Structure 1
Amino acid sequence: MRLRAPVRIVAPLLAVGLLALGACGSGGTTASSGTASASGSASAAPTLGPDVPAATVVADPVAADQLPTATGAFGEKPTLTFPSTNPPPSLQRQVLVQGTGPETQKGDWLVTNYLGQVWNGKVFDNSYDKGTTATFQIGVGNVVPGWDTALVGVPVGSRVLLSLPPADGYGSKGNSSAGIGGTDTIVFVVDIVAAYGKDAAGQADAVPQPAPATGPQVTGDLGQKPSITVPAGTPEPTSPQITVLAQGTGAAIKDGQVLAQYVAVQWSGESAGSTWPDPAAEAAGTGGTGPQQLSVAAGGPFAGLVGVPLGSRVLVQIPGQTNQQTGQAQPALAAVLDLVAQTS
C-alpha cells in the first residue's frame, strides 16, 4: 500500500519533461491510497470523529498500557500486540528505540522501514517483507497527516510507534483497498534509517573532471547551486548524455531510485526549474523544495548514471521530444545534478 500517490515534481520541470521522464515521489512503499498487501477489520471507535481536523502536533502521551506493544529490534519486522481498551482518540507517538542521529525536519527526505496495522486488525502493509526501504519527503503533504506531524523531530536511527486516529490517517473515507474503514485507528512501527535535508548536495570535495570545451557550460562551487548556460549555436543532443563534472567518493549508482539536487535550463537558456532551496519558488509552487527522486533504469534518460559514484556532480543533456500524454513538443534540456543518495 502507498501512503499517498507519488509526487511528480514541480510544475516547470513537469511541463518540459525532465523529471516527468525520470522522477517519482517514492522509492518503495509509503502510506497513501494504493493497494494493500493484506486487509483486515478492526473494532469501530465512533467517538474518534473521523471528520475532526488532522492534528498539527503530537498529543500528550497516554498511559503505556493504552498503546500496542511491539517486538523486535530496529530493522527487524515487528509484531504488534493490542490492549483490550479502545484506541486513544489522539495522535500518539512512542519512541521504542532512541536514535543518535540528527533530528528530522519538515521537508527532509526520510528513508524508512515500516509496518502498518489496523487497530486490533490485520497488517495491511509493511516494507520488511518487500526487502526495500520506503523513501518520502516529510511534512509537505505527500504522506498521511499523522506521518507528516509525528515523524518530524525524531532522531535518525529511532524506531517509533505511531497511533493514528482516522483524521490523522485516511479520514472518514478510509481506504477500502487496504481494509481500513472510516472510523479505524491505524498503527505504524517506523524505523528511520536516514534523512536528507532540503539543502543536501553533492560532495564539496568531489574531484573536478576535465570540463567539456563545447556544449552547455557550468559554473559554481561544488556543494552549492550551480549555473548553466547554453552557448548560442550549440547543437541539441540527439540522445541522453551524461558528463561527470566532479567525481564523488560514494557507492556506485545502480538501477533504482536516486535522490538528486538539480537545476535545469531549456536549450534556449530559459529556466526549467530548480530544486535548490528557494522560499519564494517554493511558495509559488515552482520549485525550491529540496532534492527529488530520479528513476535510473535502462532505456531512461538517466540510465547513464549507473556506475557514477554518489556525491558526484553531473551534467545531463536530454533531447527534445513529444509529451506522450499531451502531444506537445518539449524542448531539449541541460541539467546539473548533485547525486545525494541511492534510496532503492
Structure 2
Amino acid sequence: MSPFDLTRTLPADAMSAALRADVREGLTHDPKQLPPKWFYDAQGSELFEEITRLPEYYPTRAEREILEERAKTIADITRARTLVELGSGSSEKTRLLIDALGTPLTYIPVDVSESALNGAGRALLADHPGLTVHALVADFQRGLELSPTPGPRLVAFLGGTIGNLLPEERAAFLASARAMLAPEDTFLLGTDLVKDEATLVAAYDDAQGVTAAFNKNVLTVIDRELGADFDPADFDHLALWDRENEWIEMRLRARRDLTVKVPALDLTADFAAGEEMRTEVSAKFREEGIRAELAAAGMRLRHWWTDRKGRFALSLASPASPEG
C-alpha cells in the first residue's frame, strides 16, 4: 500500500456552490457579511503566511512555542498512533507533533484544498520514513467519518481557527469533534486568549498593511470567481475589539456610495458611504470558557498549556465519562 493517498469527500463543484451561497446570503444580509474562509485562495494563503511573520501577529509564534515545549508531553500522554488534523493547511507546526509521536504513525490531514494536502503530505513523507498519510479533502464543519486507523487517535485543531466560528457554530463543531473520538482518543485545541485591546487590534491591523491586503483579498476572489466588479480601493480595512463578545471583528468599510454587480448571481449590492461589511470574527478565550464549551460537547479538559507570556493556549481534552 502506498504511504500516501488522498480521498475527496467534497463534490467537484462543492466549493463553487458554497461560495455562491455565502456571497448571496452575505450581500443580502443586514448588515452585510462574508465568511473568512474565502480569504484563502493562493494569493490569500501567501498573504496569511506573511502575516504570521509580522511582529504584531503573535499567535503563530506563541502556539509554536507551546508545541516545541510540550509536544513530547502530549505524545507521552496520548500515545497516539493516528494523528488527525482538521484544517491542516501547510501542516508546518504539525511536524513537531509528528516528530514527538514517532513512527509508525498514520497522519490524516483534513482540508478543503487538495493542492495544500498534496504538497504538505508529500513533504512530510520525505522527512518521516514510516509515516502513512491519508489526506482527506473535506469541510470539517460538515462533520467527518474517518476510516478505521490504529488507535489511540489524537484529533488536532490548531492555529486558533476555532475563534472564526460563531458560538453556535463552535458548539456544532465541538460536538462533531467529540463524535470522532473513541474512549481512548484525545482532542488538542489551539485558542488565542483574551488580553489587552491594543495587542489584539495590532495583530489584525499591522503597520505594513498586510492584513488590510488579506482582508480585501476576499473581494478579489469574488470578482474572479463570480464576475463581480468590486474595487478593493473602494474599501478601508478595519479591526475592532468587541468587549462584550470578546472577539476581534475585521470589516471592510465603503469609502463612498457604490453599487456592486455580481453577474454570476444576477445580484447587485448597494453600499452607502461608511457602510461596514464584516469579513471575520476572531474570538478570544479564557480557560473557564473553553472548559465549559468542551463539557457541553461531551469532553473533559485534561491539560492546559500556555506560552510563557500567557497569550495563547493549547488544551488537551478527552471524552467525558458518563459520570462526567
Is TM more than 0.5 here? no
**What's the TM-score bracket when you normalise by the shorter of the two chains?**
under 0.3
TM-score (norm 1): 0.26
More helix by share: 2
TM-score (norm 2): 0.27
